[in-house]
């Protein structure tokens, strides 16, 4: 039998997707991207929560164990004539090997950090995927507390965990987890530089998650330093 089918015309061979089909594809892609981004946000929030509960609060627990074992003498202070300040004086941070060795000498177990020999450090990524390294130190600083007259404040020595390397979104998350609200100068979690303020007004953190180093879109996310109150 003779084949009576006509050969496909050029227009038929070049026929593509219709606008409706393209729109459906774009909608599906948008849904998939939204699902992936939502999953990443949930994962990142879980990692932030884990860093706070396991690492930051782990260090606060280690500090409390130290002062319990040492009968109130602070890490790095003299055991014969103590000043009851970290490192022996105000604003004398105890960091790195000196901190780790002081804690281990008192038989204190330290939380898991970046590596076995670096329990004072923790690595994470921010919302843009930029890696950051948190480091903790112990320090005695002046800390603002309410005075005897309503509406007035006084700065008194308090022992804190100094935390460096915090992306703004992580700092704000830690603040909310500590105090239930975000405030740079009140509560048990404060931004460095705002810990001894004498004002009664609420203070915003100096940077938010839109800030970047060198004021460039491709710049790395800024890092903040914060204090977590660990002892009187």
Residues 7-29: what's their mean pLDDT? 62
| pLDDT above 60: residue 13 | no
Other CB atoms within a 10 A radius of the CB of residue 139 amount to 24
- The pLDDT confidence band at residue 3, using thresholds 50, 70 and 90, is low
> What pLDDT is recorded for position 218?
47
* Phi, psi (rounded to 5 degrees) for 170: -75, -40
d(CA 158, CA 142): 6
> What pLDDT is recorded for position 40?
54
pLDDT in tens, 19-66: 776 677 676 666 666 555 555 566 567 889 999 999 999 999 999 999
Contacts of 133 (CB under 8 A, 6+ apart): 114, 121, 122, 123, 165
Range of lowest pLDDT (28-32, 169-173, 223-227): 28-32
pTM comes to 0.81
- Whole-number percent of the chain with pLDDT over 90: 62
């Amino acid at each position: 039998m003779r084949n009576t089918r006509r050969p496909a015309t050029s227009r038929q061979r070049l026929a593509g997707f219709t606008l409706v089909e393209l729109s459906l594809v774009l909608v599906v892609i948008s849904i998939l991207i939204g699902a992936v981004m939502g999953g990443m946000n949930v994962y990142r929030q879980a990692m932030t929560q884990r860093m706070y509960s396991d690492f930051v609060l782990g260090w606060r627990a280690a500090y409390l164990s130290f002062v319990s074992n040492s009968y109130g003498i602070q890490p790095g202070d003299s055991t014969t004539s103590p000043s009851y300040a970290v490192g022996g004086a105000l604003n004398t941070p105890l960091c790195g090997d000196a901190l780790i060795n002081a804690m281990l000498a008192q038989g204190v177990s330290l939380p898991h950090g970046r590596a076995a020999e670096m329990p004072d450090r923790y690595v994470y990524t921010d919302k843009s995927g930029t890696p950051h390294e948190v480091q903790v130190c112990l320090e005695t600083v002046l800390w603002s507390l309410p005075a005897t007259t309503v509406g007035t404040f006084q700065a008194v020595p308090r022992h804190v965990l100094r935390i460096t390397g915090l992306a703004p979104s992580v700092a704000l998350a830690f603040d909310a987890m500590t105090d239930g609200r975000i405030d740079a100068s009140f509560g048990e979690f404060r931004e460095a530089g705002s810990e001894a303020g004498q004002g009664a007004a609420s203070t915003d953190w100096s940077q938010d998650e839109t800030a970047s180093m060198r004021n460039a879109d491709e710049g790395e996310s800024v890092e903040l330093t914060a204090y977590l109150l660990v002892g009187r």
